[in-house]
Chains A and B, each alone.
Chain A
Amino acid sequence: MSLAFTQAPARRWRVPGTTGQIALALGLAAFLLAFLLVPVGSVIYVAFTEKGSGSFTLINFADFFRTDLFMRSFWNSAYVSAMTVVLASLFALPLAYITTRFEFRGALIIQTLGFVPLIMPPFVGAVAMQLLFGRNGSVNLLLNEYFGFRIPFMEGLNGVIFVQAIHYFPFILINLSAALRNIDRSMEEAAQNLGSSGMRMFRRIVLPLAMPGYVAGASLVFVKVFDDLATPLLLNVKDMLAPQAYLRVTSIGLTDPMGYVIAVVLIVVSVLAMWVSALALRGRDYATTQRGGGGLAKRTMRPWEQVVAYGVVGLILALVLAPHLGLLLLSFATIWSFSPLPDGFTVAHYARVFGESSVYIKNTLIYASIAGLIDVVVGTAIAYLVLRTKLIGRHWLDWAATAALAVPGVVLGIGYLRTFYDIRLPDGTPLATMWIVLVIALAIRRLPYALRACYAALQQISVSLEEAAENLGATKPRTVRRIVVPLMMGGILAGFVTSFATAAVELSATLMLVQSNADAPLAYGLYVFMQSAAGRGPGAALGVIAVVLVAACTLLSQYIIDRNQKTTGAAR
């Protein structure tokens, strides 16, 4: 009898990371815990506890579902979000179809439309849209004069749907076009080879392949609209969920549980919509362009098709540019009321904005810069820890930071007030009223996007570039400083600029957290101005400044990305 020994060699103990890496990971975990998980957790906690006793209860939710106002708000929010998706799809579908199926000269214009939502936040254009499409706006005045009827574009919920759809349709357009372009031509050719063609083939092959892209874009739009606080408020629509949460907390107070219940409902809807989007994309990575010629076969349009195509594109383009045009007119208008165009023009609004209200601009520049900086530093650190170390639990940092996607601005604002109001500074002022808290809230909201940018930048760097540095004597921190960060710089800068631009015009969390005019950023000032008819001119001027600021940042980020690809693109 023999015993077979398969002697497993004794394993050498492997330390999962250096002390520096562990310290960094703990610091990041503490930051995310303090400024994301605890505030959001406290919102959920309050929603489920009894006021006073602190015991677990569902009574708050029962109250929510028993109150007519909240139920009406809930269904209004759902209706507005769903109708926005429908209307946005009506804008996006023909554009996506035209650019991917035909040789079309206007394709570049349509691609440019993709940048429009970044350039103007919806609430900025909302007032201008009232003046153009409202009951006594330019379009309805003209319609009434020549045809004797009006169209209620902007009445009640219609206004929110209209403004949001114009703002968000590019999300669907971009996703759908990308999905269509990623379909390998051989898919279509195989269908033709087997006898299918025309609309039938489009319905049976092309649409199913593009569907995941469409659902991803549509669910994103749904969430954005459902969570948006500023647009309904500016259009004076109050019976929707996000405005209700804001009004409860600001008018009744921090102790009222209903604001927290609404916040939980907002989170649940966000998570559900993202889950739908993840389901749509899971296992359906239909991107098949690696092999054959990219994209579907394009054909030239017949003359009448060209007329229709240019007509559709022109109409949508006019709609998309309407808020910009209206805002510009308003910012230079003396008086604009009951007339298609303003009575006269002036630069007085700009003088006022740059004079007494320049504090808004200064604050915005400071806040958005710091928020962007926090985002890229935290984003780079998390990306490095996740992709380049074997620390246990490093993925939790990624998941925690990404969870901010599902947290609407209103909810984060409420959470910050709840968590940081009771923490007093030595002089007795609550921590929540410090401007730096607002800056951190802005940073947390943008962190998921900055993190993705940093991931992408780091993933493009071959690990062997870092190993080469270590092989030649550079320690890990030195390698990060001399090799990793310089090579990521393009992506980091692009992430910074994007964070900066979106933080500059964020209003949801800002509305909750700004305590005094002196600490307020541009978006808040714009909101305050727009509350009165006399303030609309300066408000519009502030809006134009915001648009110019964001547009400049977007162009800058695009330029940085392009230049970066040119300098390092050829190297492996």
Chain B
Amino acid sequence: MNAHAITDDAAAVLHTAAVDLHIEGVNLSYGSNHVLKNVSLDIKPGEFFAFLGPSGCGKTTLLRLIAGFNTADSGRVVVGGRDISDLPPWKRDVGLVFQSYALWPHMSVARNVAFGLEERGVKRAEIQRRVAAALEIVGLGHLAERRPSQLSGGQQQRVALARTVVIEPKVLLLDEPLSNLDAKMRVQVRRELRDLQQRLGLTTIFVTHDQEEANTVCDRIAVMNDGVVQQVGTPVELYERPANLFVATFLGTANVLEGKVVTSGSDRHFESLGGLRIDIARDAVLPAEARLVFRPQVAKLSKEKPASASAFEGEIMRREFLGSVIRFGILIAGQEITVDEVFHPGAREPHAIGDRVWVEIPASSALWLGPGT
């Protein structure tokens, strides 16, 4: 932790060998509502993994299924080579940090942290040693005798974390751990989480709806929507090579042009619904019913007509100042295209609302995606 550096001794007390986690063909329904649809995931030992998706996508349901609070209709969960699907929650050894922290208000901080060890029948001296180590790791050793209600939100979250890691779980599950913190704390705590995870070497799953959180702390991300895993990959992979429209638009802003591919002899080009004609690279592999997708920053804006064939004239309808860039909305052939220009402090702004400008879409940076889910 930044403010309270972890001593390596404390981390060593709680360090365990990391295990892998496999989710195999999991289906789950609440009545007629099919919440998880044939979900399979392989999470490597020591990996910081994220379930990312909008609310209602099934990510928290999947997390609670791993912890044993939901039962799958079919499929299984394997942790470190052992099928835990039929174990009750108290025998699973997967530590869950609740979104609400779920600290017991009738126990002190130290009693909260000691609970799991007491349930495991650990000797008193050992409990004291490990509780002290866990509280030191989260930098709350001096608040051990406080009640949870006497702590700030950030401190409560650390107690919840200490309470979970102290039992040395095989897997650490974090359910939206940052959602109850203010914006500034969120940035600090997510760094601390990453730091802690690295030191303990714990296989960790992080559930969030915030792509920035997932991108900054996680090794790999499973993007979920509507109970289906859309794509698994590193943050950069997901951003650069989204598997479908949902992933492309959920991770960052994207322009989507609907249209069709026209083939005449050896020449292929894309014709948008608005009539824009864009050349397609010779080696590009296109899915059926392709759409053209590109990020706002790959398009170039200019006052004069550029040499490129895939440049189009339009009118600036919208201007948003985002700090490092200025985002323009440009109406071209009936569709608004979003283009980011780097903001140079001190320089005179080249474009204003109502100006007519040229937008160049480099075919090399364009993505060709099939229909999204």
Contacts and interface: CB of A to CB of B under 8 A. Distances in A.
Interface in B123-157: 147-149
Nearest to A568: B105
A239 B48 CA distance: 80
A473 B104 contact: no
Interface in A473-494: 473-475, 478, 482-483, 486-487
B149 A570 contact: yes
B98 interface: yes
Given A10-B74, A464-B98, A568-B106, A470 B88 contact: yes
Interface string B34-58: 0000000000000000000000000
Interface residues of A, number: 28
B89 A467 contact: yes
Contacts of A568: 105-106, 149
Interface string A514-526: 0000000000000
Interface in A434-482: 462, 464-465, 467-475, 478, 482
Interface in B1-48: 27
Interface stretch (B113-121, B286-294, B306-314): B113-121
B100 interface: yes
Nearest to B112: A468
A12 interface: yes
Contact of B100 (A9, A14, A472, A572): A572
B149 A475 contact: no
A483 B107 CA distance: 9
Interface stretch (B64-72, B200-208, B233-241): B64-72
B258 interface: no
Given A464-B98, A467-B98, A469-B115, A475 B90 contact: yes
Contacts of B68: 470-471
A19 interface: no
A487 B106 contact: yes
A424 to B, nearest CB: 47
A567 interface: yes
Contact of B102 (A465, A473, A570): A465
B119 A478 contact: yes
Contacts of A483: 104
B73 interface: yes
A482 B101 CA distance: 18
B74 A12 contact: yes
Contacts of A10: 73-74
Given A487-B105, A487-B106, A471 B74 contact: no
Contacts of B147: 567, 571
B96 interface: yes
Interface string B72-83: 111100000000
B74 A465 contact: no
B361 interface: no
A11 B75 CA distance: 10
B31 to A, nearest CB: 12
Contacts of B149: 567-571
B98 A468 contact: yes
A567 B98 CA distance: 22
Contacts of A487: 104-106
A468 B73 CA distance: 24
A114 to B, nearest CB: 29
Contacts of B69: 467, 470
A11 B74 CA distance: 6
B94 interface: yes
Interface centre among A11, A483, A571 (most CB of B within 10 A): A571
Interface of A: 9-12, 14, 462, 464-465, 467-475, 478, 482-483, 486-487, 567-572
Given A467-B69, A486-B106, 11 more contacts: A462-B100, A464-B99, A464-B100, A469-B119, A471-B89, A471-B95, A472-B116, A472-B164, A567-B106, A571-B149, A572-B101
20 contacts: A9-B73, A9-B75, A10-B74, A12-B74, A462-B100, A467-B89, A467-B96, A467-B98, A468-B104, A470-B89, A471-B68, A471-B89, A471-B92, A471-B164, A472-B163, A473-B90, A473-B116, A478-B119, A571-B103, A572-B100
